[in-house]
Structure 1
Amino acid sequence: MIHTKIGLLFFVFCIGLSVHAQRYERITQNAILVDTHNDILSACIEKKVSLDNDLTNITMSDLNRFKKGGVDVQFFSVWCDGDQRNPFDFANREMDTLYAVAKRNPNKIVIVKNYQQLLQTVKAHQLAAMFGVEGGHMIENDLKKLDSLYNRGARYLTLTWNNSNSWATSAMDETLNAKTITHKGLTDFGKQVVRHMNALGMLIDVSHTGEQTFWDVIHTTTKPIIASHSDVYNICPVFRNLKDEQIKAIGKNGGVIQLNFYSGFLDSTFMQKQQQFSVSHKMELDSLIHKGMQRDYALTWLFQKYATEVNGWRPSLSLLLDHLDYIVRLIGVDHVGLGSDFDGINSAPQQLDDVTSYALITKGLMQRGYNKKDIEKILGGNLLRVLKQNEN
């Protein structure tokens, strides 16, 4: 009889675990899940692969894995650094690669250009794709080129990448290279860019921007803004993260902060560990760079090669949720979402290995007491609200 009772209790326990698992996975699949930053287009160019192939163990993303992970809306980053010649043309070539994928896979992915098209595409169980142009240098100081990128499906512009441009200064330059910049914040043309984006209905992205640029945006924009892939400075004090007053300003503006999964922006000890790793593997790293691989991609390659070594010092998933909790406590649950930076980073928290892992965030949120309505806001509802408000 005792054995029977123990067996029955164990059965009930297992059923409970199964129901819980099904619930967090079901919530993830049923929500409109929006990720505002993924660098797979750049990764595909660097690694000479195609998004619609199975890229397991090659990249963090591919077309079928987006579906498996429950991703409904993906903003694909269009990126080049400040040294790229003809950056506007390069941006268009990156966009061309996604258009080609969409043409080959019309039942799986659609490039959408407004909120209603997005909803229709999600309802049809296809991936709704938009572009986020990561760096204002790609408009080449020409509002007509900004219009052109918008017309092709770019729905946000990150005003700067790490490099400043002639009309906006970056967080890196304002913080680390202050003596080299000729101005600080937005110029008159920079403010014209912001106002033009407001008129278009294009989201203004302040990830990567310097503090002065950030405050100039806040004082210029008439629409809610986003930080497409940023975290909390007070937890991890790196120049790319948002300070409390900036977080509060985004809340007051009605905008949303999309959390970056990069270990170095979540864990204040990660950069030191990465530096030690780079020293330990200096010969291999230098060799890869000498062969033409960008340093960031070379590090990513070495991280994959020495995965056992690296995995030991990846931060926990709970640390990402700590950043989320911090923002919620400061400005409320209506102003936070997800901007993973998958395929633009060499390390994410434990368990968040690729685009199939979003349900684990839902699981963690449930364990912290977030209800279904709030989880749906975090997974995508907040971003969709801001997108719709900008269109209006």
Structure 2
Amino acid sequence: MDLTVPTIFDGHNDVLSRLAGGGRAAAANTFRSGAGHINLERSHLGGFGGGFFAVWIPSSGGGTVDFDAMTKPRYSVPLPPPVAQPEALEAAMRQVSILMALEEADELKICRTAGEIEATLGTERLAAIFHIEGAEAIDRDLAVLDVLHAAGLRSLGPVWSRPNRFGHGVPFRFPSSPDTGPGLTEDGLRLVDRCLELGIMVDVSHLNEAGFWDVAKRTTKPIVATHSNAHAITPTARNLTDRQLAAVAETGGVVGINFASAFLREDGRMEGDVPLATVLKHIDHLIAILGESGLALGSDYDGALVPHALDGVERLPNLRHAMREHGYGEALIARICHGNWVDVLRRTWGA
């Protein structure tokens, strides 16, 4: 059996921030065959058809998260300070420019409708959604949001983990509830409203629990978490509680399962020796609450330490095989691999 079928469309990757250091001119060549979890050659080998390409803003002055601390039995990792809007905008434009360069080189297509995703899957190009993870680049008047939407932005997470003018994210903390502080600010509520007007999907991954409920009360669209897991299995602040998952299900929303080891392992440690049985445990739990139409993939490739068996898109056939061996039928596997993303985006975008 050909394990590269069905094609995978994925809820989150950080390719653009990885390529940003090399600049626009080198991006296409690096993306074609360079290092990292995703490149074009290995995507074809693994049946990876595309996904959400995130614009993520690095912390000021090279500040980073102490991921080594996440190998301990308990941790609460300090977050870098907020990034000023002018600095964030410059970093965002660098990454958006790279996304456009990859489209110009015919490596991918920036998709603005579900129909464009379907038409691109299975071709030589990857289907890409222009996504923002953390809205630091957007000004208080939301003028930048309108410009980015015109450039193809169709998905946005108001925060990464550090706070910004729009709201508060969850820290890297284990064990912990996602109820870690205040949610969206007044500016954040206006941002969500404008996204709804423009047809930009609002992503609740990285929002703390208060922010999640702020979006849930505000939105008229399906609630979507592009890359989150089950808190009932791995009680880290980054995962969704059963109550949150039930709210997603009530709206016909979707959760993309995150491959990040720290959000999969029951001990919360960021270590790569994670059996695929652990991934399947999360999948089973999520399907039990969300239903078969509510689960997709949200790898966090190029942004996280992932299980050895999934360490790169060429290894995605391992997950398809594990799902078949676990007893999932072909129709369900196809939904998880790409169908549920296409469906929820069509219902969110209206096209």
- TM-score bucket (shorter structure): 0.7 to 0.9
C-alpha separation in 2, matches of 1:129 and 1:322: 29
1:388 aligned residue: 346
C-alpha separation in 1, matches of 2:100 and 2:34: 24
For the 8 Å contact 1:40–1:51, the answer to whether it is kept is no
User: 1:129-157 CA distances to partner (integer Å, 9 max, x unpaired)?
Assistant: 12210002221323221122222222211
1:133 aligned residue: 132
CA shift in 2, pair 1:264/1:77, >3 Å? same
2:321 aligned residue: 363
Over the matched positions of the two proteins, sequence identity in percent amounts to: 31
CA shift in 2, pair 1:124/1:178, >3 Å? closer
1:226 aligned residue: 224
Which range moves more in the overlay, 226-235 or 60-69? 60-69
Residue 235 of structure 1 and its aligned partner are, at CA, apart by: 0.9
For the 8 Å contact 2:178–2:240, the answer to whether it is kept is no
Residue 56 of structure 1 and its aligned partner are, at CA, apart by: 6.5
Residue 176 of structure 1 and its aligned partner are, at CA, apart by: 9.9
Letter of the 1:185 counterpart: G
C-alpha separation in 2, matches of 1:374 and 1:178: 32
User: 1:274-325 CA distances to partner (integer Å, 9 max, x unpaired)?
Assistant: 5xxxxxxxxxxxxxxxxxxxxxxxxxxxxxxxxxxx76xx111111111111
User: 1:46-92 CA distances to partner (integer Å, 9 max, x unpaired)?
Assistant: 46763533776831111222222212232111001433652123212
CA shift in 2, pair 1:232/1:51, >3 Å? farther
The one of 298, 317, 334 equivalent to 2:276 is: 317
The structure where helix makes up a greater share of residues is 1
Residue 246 of structure 1 and its aligned partner are, at CA, apart by: 0.5
- Structure of higher CA gyration radius: 1
C-alpha separation in 1, matches of 2:42 and 2:112: 23
Q: Which blocks of at least 5 consecutive residues in structure 2 are unaligned?
A: 60-81
Which range moves more in the overlay, 83-92 or 157-166? 83-92
Residue 360 of structure 1 and its aligned partner are, at CA, apart by: 1.5
1:103 has 2:110 as partner: no
Residue 236 of structure 1 and its aligned partner are, at CA, apart by: 0.9
1:327 aligned residue: 286
User: 1:158-192 CA distances to partner (integer Å, 9 max, x unpaired)?
Assistant: 1110112223221229979999x7xx222333222
2:15 aligned residue: 40
2:56 aligned residue: 79
Letter of the 2:326 counterpart: R
Please show how residues 126-275 of structure 1 align to structure 2 within 5 Å.
Answer: 126-172=125-171, 184-271=182-269
CA shift in 2, pair 1:380/1:56, >3 Å? same
CA shift in 2, pair 1:67/1:152, >3 Å? farther
Please show how residues 53-64 of structure 1 align to structure 2 within 5 Å.
Answer: 53=30, 58-64=35-41
For the 8 Å contact 1:41–1:76, the answer to whether it is kept is yes
C-alpha separation in 2, matches of 1:157 and 1:110: 18
Residue 118 of structure 1 and its aligned partner are, at CA, apart by: 2.1
Q: Which blocks of at least 5 consecutive residues in structure 1 are unaligned?
A: 1-21, 275-309
CA shift in 2, pair 1:212/1:119, >3 Å? same
Q: RMSD of the alignment, in Å?
A: 2.5
C-alpha separation in 2, matches of 1:160 and 1:365: 32
Letter of the 1:70 counterpart: G
CA shift in 2, pair 1:356/1:110, >3 Å? same
C-alpha separation in 2, matches of 1:225 and 1:155: 15
C-alpha separation in 2, matches of 1:161 and 1:383: 21
1:342 has 2:301 as partner: yes
C-alpha separation in 1, matches of 2:330 and 2:303: 30
Letter of the 2:116 counterpart: Q
CA shift in 2, pair 1:177/1:375, >3 Å? closer
User: 1:192-222 CA distances to partner (integer Å, 9 max, x unpaired)?
Assistant: 2212212221111011001000001001000
CA shift in 2, pair 1:361/1:189, >3 Å? same
> Given the two structures, how large is their TM-score scaled by the length of structure 2?
0.84
> Given the two structures, how large is their TM-score scaled by the length of structure 1?
0.76
2:89 aligned residue: 88
1:277 aligned residue: none
Letter of the 2:171 counterpart: M
Letter of the 1:118 counterpart: I
C-alpha separation in 2, matches of 1:155 and 1:221: 16
